[in-house]
Amino acid sequence: MANHLRFVGRTVMVQSGNVEAAYGVLNRILAQDGVADAVRRSRYYEKPSRARRRRAFEACRRVYCGEMARRIAFLARSGRQDPWPGC
């Protein structure tokens, strides 16, 4: 199981007895994966209509963030020509 990629990606090593730093790293990893939000959501019943609205909002947010990241990467790429030469 230790060779499984998802398990290794979530493994946090404690270096020189610094448990607090390792705990912070683990919390950051779990927050990025959405584990904490899933646990928080499953604590109470979520009505189907609210679940649909939440999933639709998350899908729209993924599309919007992906599009913005693509635009920023396009503008920040290196080696582009000056759009207004001589200004």
Sequence-separated (6 or more) residues with CB below 8 Å from residue 37 = 31
Among 12-26, 34-48, 73-87, which stretch is predicted with the lowest mean pLDDT?
73-87
Q: How far is CA 21 from the centre of its chain?
A: 20
pLDDT grade for 11, boundaries at 50, 70 and 90: confident
pLDDT tens column, 12-39: 888 888 999 999 998 888 888 888 888 8
- Calculate mean pLDDT across residues 31-51: 90
Q: Average pLDDT, whole number, for the chain?
A: 86
Measured in residues, the chain has a length of: 87
